[in-house]
Structure 1
Amino acid sequence: MTDLLYSEVQEDLRASVRDLFADRADSAKVLARVETGEPYDLKLWRTLAAELGFAGLHVPEELGGQGASTRELAVVLEELGRSVAPVPFLGSAVLATSALLACDSASSTVAGLLRKLATGEAIGALAVPLSTWPGGEFPAGVTVSGGVLSGRIPVVADGSVADVLVVPATGPDGPGLYAVNDFTAQEAISLDLTRRVADITLDGAEGQLLAGPDTAAAALEEALTAGAALLASEQLGVAQWCLDETVSYVKQRFQFGRAVGSFQALKHRLADLYLELVTARATARNAADAVATGEDVAVATAVAQASTVAVHAAEEAIQLHGGIGMTWEHPAHLYLKRAKADEIALGTPGRHRANLAKLVNLPA
């Protein structure tokens, strides 16, 4: 039976990440950064990836990682959701790294690139649109001939700061995954100011083969499934911040001589949200544990649940903060934008519910 509780090691990991973000990525710093020409905090990323080794948490030690599991990685993503820190963690440490882990690590190309991503020497991105979901068709936006790739991939998460791309491409022999260093990234307009997306153009770029026709589709599917499962933990962190901040605010905000948190209607709304969050936490923890076993039911359940709860929590935070919640100066809008962007990332709740229905043999 899956243990949904956090271990002592995981709680220590959480404390170290939270302390780092409290010092380097509090709300005021994040709000100030997203309005500059450098929305990503790459110094913070280097601390996370190179100094603390969090980019390679679930990478085996012999490949430069920490040899932990996706359960530990999920804890880091929870804290990333709580802080909406502008670092390329999803694109590099989750999606690109998971795709490489699903390839043959005996290959020197795969092992070398995995080591670079795990140690923070390079930033990676999986070159698929952020809305791509597990179970979909193999992307057809890039073609390959003789090891040369051409095509365009829109809306790639963290693509604007990536040093290397893991690119799904189709050639005469079938699908493949390729490592590409030579590409053009044009930052696109993103709803989420703390996680940018970019349109990637490949014009005769040379690629290094990572996975051939026999394994490429399965490797991509594993990466997308792992990404979706771990994104649920990030959404959990978003929802937790929204609930905590809202409860704190309604205790301090007075109206008619009373704290507004004492009004029964608000108590009921926050209690309902707490119950939703508890359920989302259980499903997200279960999904993080199930990634290694390929349990698709757990992943689909977690994404469908966590996406809805994160958006609801962010909406409630803005409404219950009243006028201040509608201002740019308050960080609540960052969390609503992250929640809405995550809702369509790696498959909408509707797509995952449809996938879940198939898995449990429910009719359409």
Structure 2
Amino acid sequence: MTFALTEEQDELAATVRHLLARRSDSGAVRRAVARAPGYDESLWRTLCDQVGVASLAIPERYGGAGFTLVETHVVLEQLGAALTPSPLLGSGVLAAQALLLSGNEEACARLLPGIADGTRVAAVCWAGADGRWRTDRSDVRATGGGTWALSGSATLVLDGMAARTLLVVAGTGPGPVGLFEVDPADGRVRVTPTPAMDTTVSLARVEFDGVPGTPLALDVAGLLGTLHDIAAVAVTALQVGTAQRALDMTVAHSKERVQFGRPIGSFQALKHRMADMLVEVETARSASWAACWAAAQRLPELPERAALAKAWCSEALNKVAAETVQLHGGIAITWEHDAQMVFKRAHATSQLFGQPHEHRQRLFRHVIGAAPR
């Protein structure tokens, strides 16, 4: 099977790329992350109104465009290349897919249209104090029955500071974990920002103190595994885009930087290193697209492909980012240069939804489990 973009997907990528070139250059990105909510709200409205980026993977019956996660993946890769902060990953992917996977028709009909048009930012409160997104337990506890009350805390909540709706993974006593809807405006909810290495990723800690919660699904352990895979695959799109940005920056710099009377890109040793960077970018893109196709089609191999892609793309971006810093020289470690943003994006995203070694362990378990005995 050949994994390549269709003509329409190429046009989508080009449209987003051209818009970001005009509205999300280095200066714009730095201005956006320096103030609340951590992204350019005007640009986000344009992306949603004119391109429909948040609606792509949401069915038409819920106000979406009725495409798939592949189209969202295309947009995320372009956002990654521009280092553009946005709520697409946290709200348009994680929260929207959590609602769809919950099977709660009423909640989907009520919440997804706002997520699709970008007017409602939703955040999933999931990771525990250990920074892990577990499928079998949560640091938030839901008690009650007819009326549920949530207590506890969640960390690393994507776009938690901007959210109008919180989707909370909570334990329900000795039973399984459930998914609950919570209003962040309730006085018993406390949301505090979490400083991140990558300033373009907005994270928060959310604490609950007996907050009323509306149950969306009371046994979500199964769907959380799929949601985790979808989220990990979406992160690889950002990683591939960022790796492409790093490669392009480095090649451009090698043509302009003169040493010993000639551009440094003319030296054979540096050509070899940039060729190795290209291999890292292209292999990462192949792994990412293959995993995205599995996520969009809900193929049985999604867990293996997601694990492979997240491990491979994380390490590929780390290598490309390190080479970017090395080949740019001393300027790369200054605040004014974008190489430091690429380097921070690499290390931050390699932790998001599982570190490379964790995904390699998952892949190993799946491969061993599928092997004939």
1:84-123 alpha-carbon deviations (Å, 9 max, x no partner)? 1121111101111111111114x21232112221121200
1:320-348 alpha-carbon deviations (Å, 9 max, x no partner)? 11122111111111111111110000000
> Which of the numbers 292, 307, 310 marks the counterpart of 2:314?
307
Are 2:202 and 1:186 aligned? Answer: no
1:207-226 alpha-carbon deviations (Å, 9 max, x no partner)? 1211122xx11222221110
Q: What letter corresponds to residue 81 of structure 2 in structure 1?
A: R
Partner residue, 2:260 = 256
Rounded to whole Å, the distance in 2 between the matches of 1:324 and 1:165 is 41
Rounded to whole Å, the distance in 1 between the matches of 2:127 and 2:323 is 29
Are 2:343 and 1:336 aligned? Answer: yes
Rounded to whole Å, the distance in 2 between the matches of 1:121 and 1:31 is 23
Offset of residue 138 of structure 1: 3.0
1:250-304 alpha-carbon deviations (Å, 9 max, x no partner)? 0111010010011111111111111121111111000000012242111111111
> Which of the numbers 272, 277, 280 marks the counterpart of 1:273?
277
Offset of residue 37 of structure 1: 5.2
Higher relative contact order (CA 8 A, sep 6+): 1
> Which of the numbers 210, 217, 241 marks the counterpart of 2:245?
241
Paired residues of 2:142 and 2:148 also in contact (CA < 8 A): no
> Which of the numbers 206, 212, 229 marks the counterpart of 2:212?
206
With structure 2 as the length reference, what TM-score do the two structures score? Answer: 0.91
Partner residue, 2:223 = 219
Change (3 A) 1:198 1:103: same
Trace 1:1-364 onto structure 2 (pairs within 5 A).
Answer: 1=1, 3-36=2-35, 39-105=38-104, 107-129=105-127, 131-133=131-133, 136-145=135-144, 146-172=147-173, 174-182=176-184, 183-213=189-219, 216-291=220-295, 292-294=298-300, 295-361=302-368
Q: What letter corresponds to residue 171 of structure 2 in structure 1?
A: T
Change (3 A) 1:37 1:136: closer
Percent identity over paired residues:
38
Rounded to whole Å, the distance in 2 between the matches of 1:37 and 1:301 is 35
Q: What's the secondary structure of 1:102's corresponding residue?
A: helix
Q: What letter corresponds to residue 242 of structure 1 in structure 2?
A: A
Paired residues of 2:62 and 2:113 also in contact (CA < 8 A): yes
Offset of residue 199 of structure 1: 0.7
Q: What's the secondary structure of 1:293's corresponding residue?
A: coil
Rounded to whole Å, the distance in 2 between the matches of 1:305 and 1:277 is 10
Structure 1: gaps of 5 or more residues: none
Rounded to whole Å, the distance in 2 between the matches of 1:66 and 1:37 is 29
Q: What letter corresponds to residue 182 of structure 2 in structure 1?
A: V
Rounded to whole Å, the distance in 1 between the matches of 2:319 and 2:332 is 15
Paired residues of 2:325 and 2:339 also in contact (CA < 8 A): yes
Answer with 336-345 or 24-33: which moved more: 24-33
Paired residues of 2:62 and 2:108 also in contact (CA < 8 A): no
Structure 2: gaps of 5 or more residues: none
Q: What's the secondary structure of 1:321's corresponding residue?
A: helix
With structure 1 as the length reference, what TM-score do the two structures score? Answer: 0.94
Paired residues of 2:136 and 2:176 also in contact (CA < 8 A): no
Q: What's the secondary structure of 1:239's corresponding residue?
A: helix
Paired residues of 1:49 and 1:120 also in contact (CA < 8 A): yes
1:177-207 alpha-carbon deviations (Å, 9 max, x no partner)? 0111133210012111111211101122221
Paired residues of 2:284 and 2:316 also in contact (CA < 8 A): yes
